[in-house]
Amino acid sequence: MTESGVYRSSGTNAPLPLPNVEQVELQAMLDWLSTYGADAQGGVTRLLYDAAWCEAQVALAAKMQEKGLSPEFDQSGNLYGTLKGEGEESATGAEELPVVTGSHIDSVVYGGKYDGAYGVVAGVLALEYLQKHFGAPKRTLQVVSLCEEEGSRFPFAYWGSRSITGITSLEDVEHLKDQDSVTFAQAISHAGFGPDSAYRPAAKNYGAFIELHIEQGQVLERLGHSIGVVSDIVGQKRFSITVSGEANHAGTTPMSWRKDALAGAAEMIAAVRGIALDAGEPLVATVGRITADPGVGNVVAARAVFSLDIRHIRQESIDRCWQDTLHAFSRIAAEQQLGLDWEEHLSVTPIPMNAEMISDIQDTCQQEQLSYWLMPSGAGHDSQIFQPACPTAMIFVPSQDGISHNPLEYTAEADLMHGFRVLVRLLYKYGYGS
Ligand SMILES: NC(=O)NC(NC(N)=O)C(=O)[O-]
Ligand SMILES: [Zn+2]
Ligand SMILES: [Zn+2]
């Protein structure tokens, strides 16, 4: 990935007319996409390479085809729609790298219908709108439906963007197993992707990346702003923590004789919560999943495995929280004669977004007469993977009550359209150059 400047507009500041933009049926296409993976909780569950994920990507490819965007998959299952540029070749004779917009198509379990999907749908409709009203751009514009960001199925996140930027290869992840012991290699092959497929390798150079996404928090709603301009994206560390004890009879084993892995894990979980509260905002630490073996009510647990997710806008704060947490876990394990093991399966650093593009988004909001707020993202995003490789920026729209990763996730249609208009203007600026 080469760092290349983003196209700078040389035109006047007169706002670009956006004819009939209000007729773009963004909500309808979001509702349509959410039917793929609609779950019993009223939300969306689309996990990497599962049936709902495959159906959604195939259906999106068909939509892109209908809209003249030449759909193309890569070997990871990332799906591109392309609006070909007609500009002059650069001095080196190489075509300018494409400006890409998009987000992720996968979800968490029982997630909402906007997280990731909004950026994909808005990108498809933005390219269709630009082609319809302004013809071919000078510079190629693409929308990408990234195959995986959440890390919901396999203990690994950002597979789509990491395979594109070359940070991760299939060899690095093919051994990973989901909760049904299906390997990554089996899943990618079953979905029809991977090195044996007919698709081209995922690695690809972008000229710039723009991600439109719901905020997933309550800052914009509370402050009354329409657009969030993302300054930085938090860093994260994710672990699996294993506590080992000794299975025993729940009725005949005195409390003081027990090596109770689940009781130990419970104390550890309370300890890490206390460490995070003592550290103060914006540090967050979350235990979202726990399993116990043998997981039977009348047996003292022999083993407990729980997840741990630590985030902050500064790397040193993440590192300090983990060190304090590990110290507390080790103390608890020693006190209760338990085994302790851990595996780190995600570590992404905090990263600032591209300053030039931030300024362009702010200018665009002014053209649209939309109030905006410069803010960090507490959620992780593919943009933090792309930023070291190409100029990258994010645009947020408000989430009602700040709810996300929940079937109740909601963003009003008017807010969705505000973000869409800013995205269209930005893509016009970079693709058509005026
Ligand atoms: N937009 C997201 O919800 N991202 C999520 N996924 C990752 N990988 O960070 C998260 O947990 O913040
Ligand atoms: Zn998410
Ligand atoms: Zn997301």
pLDDT in tens, 178-205: 999 999 999 999 999 999 999 999 999 9
Residue from 109, 149, 167 whose mutation best tests the ligand 1 pocket (most atoms within 8 A of CB) = 149
Q: Indicate the pLDDT class of residue 6, thresholds 50, 70 and 90.
A: low
Q: Closest ligand 1 atom to the C-alpha of 405? A: 3
In a domain, 55, yes or no: yes
Of 301, 331, 348, the residue at which a domain comes to its end is: 348
Q: Report DSSP letters for 191-257, one per residue.
A: TT-STTSSSBPS----SEEEEEEE--SSHHHHHT-SEEEEEEE-EEEEEEEEEE---EETTTS-GGG
Residues 337 and 246 placed together within one structural domain of the fold: yes
CA distance 18 to 226: 18
In a domain, 302, yes or no: yes
Q: Indicate the pLDDT class of residue 3, thresholds 50, 70 and 90.
A: very low
Residue 378 is given by DSSP the state S
CATH number, position 285: 3.30.70.360
* Predicted pLDDT of residue 188: 98
- In this prediction, residues 121-144 reach a mean pLDDT of 98
Task: Tell me what percent of the residues of the chain surpass a pLDDT of 70.
Answer: 95
Position 2 pLDDT exceeds 80: no
Mean pLDDT of the chain: 95
Are 179 and 362 spatial neighbours (Cβ–Cβ below 8 Å)?
no
Exposure string of 2-36, with b = 16+ CB inside 10 Å and e = fewer, is eebebbebeeeeeebebeebeebebeebbeebbeb
Distance of CA 74 to the CA centre of its chain: 19
Q: Indicate the pLDDT class of residue 8, thresholds 50, 70 and 90.
A: very low
Distance 299 CA to ligand 2 centre (A): 36
Residues 68 and 43 placed together within one structural domain of the fold: yes
* Predicted pLDDT of residue 90: 62
Residue nearest ligand 1's atom 12 by CA: 379
Ligand number nearest to the C-alpha of 150: 1
CA distance 330 to 254: 23
pLDDT in tens, 385-423: 999 999 999 999 999 999 999 999 999 999 999 999 999
Give me the number of domains the chain comprises: 2
Ligand number nearest to the C-alpha of 377: 1
Of 315, 348, 381, the residue at which a domain comes to its end is: 348
* Predicted pLDDT of residue 433: 87
Residues 297 and 373 placed together within one structural domain of the fold: no
Q: Indicate the pLDDT class of residue 430, thresholds 50, 70 and 90.
A: very high
pLDDT in tens, 281-338: 999 999 999 999 999 999 999 999 999 999 999 999 999 999 999 999 999 999 999 9
Residue nearest ligand 1's atom 3 by CA: 379
Residues 182 and 315 placed together within one structural domain of the fold: no
Q: Closest ligand 1 atom to the C-alpha of 104? A: 1
Domain containing residue 300: 235-348
Position 378 pLDDT exceeds 80: yes
pLDDT in tens, 209-267: 999 999 999 999 999 999 999 999 999 999 999 999 999 999 999 999 999 999 999 99
In a domain, 82, yes or no: yes
Q: Closest ligand 1 atom to the C-alpha of 236? A: 9
Residues 340 and 361 placed together within one structural domain of the fold: no
Backbone φ and ψ of 213, nearest 5°:
-150, 155
Residues 340 and 375 placed together within one structural domain of the fold: no
Q: Indicate the pLDDT class of residue 7, thresholds 50, 70 and 90.
A: very low
Residues 34 and 64 placed together within one structural domain of the fold: yes
Quick one: residue 212, left, alpha or beta (phi over 0 = left, psi -120 to 50 = alpha)? beta
Distance 53 CA to ligand 1 centre (A): 17
Residue from 159, 289, 381, 384 whose mutation best tests the ligand 1 pocket (most atoms within 8 A of CB) = 381
Q: Closest ligand 1 atom to the C-alpha of 116? A: 1
* Predicted pLDDT of residue 10: 47
In a domain, 3, yes or no: no
Distance 404 CA to ligand 2 centre (A): 7
In a domain, 325, yes or no: yes
Angle, CA 108 vertex, CA 294 and CA 186 arms, to 5°: 70
In a domain, 6, yes or no: no
Residues 70 and 217 placed together within one structural domain of the fold: yes
Q: Indicate the pLDDT class of residue 13, thresholds 50, 70 and 90.
A: low
Q: Closest ligand 1 atom to the C-alpha of 158? A: 8
Position 9 pLDDT exceeds 60: no
Q: Is 401 helix (H, G, I), strand (E, B) or coil?
A: helix
CATH number, position 114: 3.40.630.10
Position 111 pLDDT exceeds 50: yes
In a domain, 10, yes or no: no
Cβ < 6 Å from ligand 1: which residues?
115, 149-151, 157-158, 216, 379-381
Distance 364 CA to ligand 2 centre (A): 26
Residue 21 is given by DSSP the state G
pLDDT in tens, 247-260: 999 999 999 999 99
Position 39 pLDDT exceeds 70: yes
Neighbours of 132 (CB within 10 A): 13
Q: Indicate the pLDDT class of residue 16, thresholds 50, 70 and 90.
A: confident
Residues 171 and 258 placed together within one structural domain of the fold: no
Residue nearest ligand 1's atom 8 by CA: 150
Residue found by looking up tokens 């990346």 in the block: 209
pLDDT in tens, 70-104: 999 999 999 999 999 997 666 665 668 999 999 99
Q: Is 143 helix (H, G, I), strand (E, B) or coil?
A: strand
* Predicted pLDDT of residue 241: 98
Of 292, 327, 348, the residue at which a domain comes to its end is: 348
* Predicted pLDDT of residue 15: 80
Residue nearest ligand 1's atom 6 by CA: 150
Task: Tell me what percent of the residues of the chain surpass a pLDDT of 90.
Answer: 93
Residues 250 and 396 placed together within one structural domain of the fold: no
Q: Closest ligand 1 atom to the C-alpha of 346? A: 8
Residues 226 and 370 placed together within one structural domain of the fold: yes
* Predicted pLDDT of residue 179: 95
Distance 380 CA to ligand 1 centre (A): 4
In a domain, 1, yes or no: no
Residues 194 and 72 placed together within one structural domain of the fold: yes
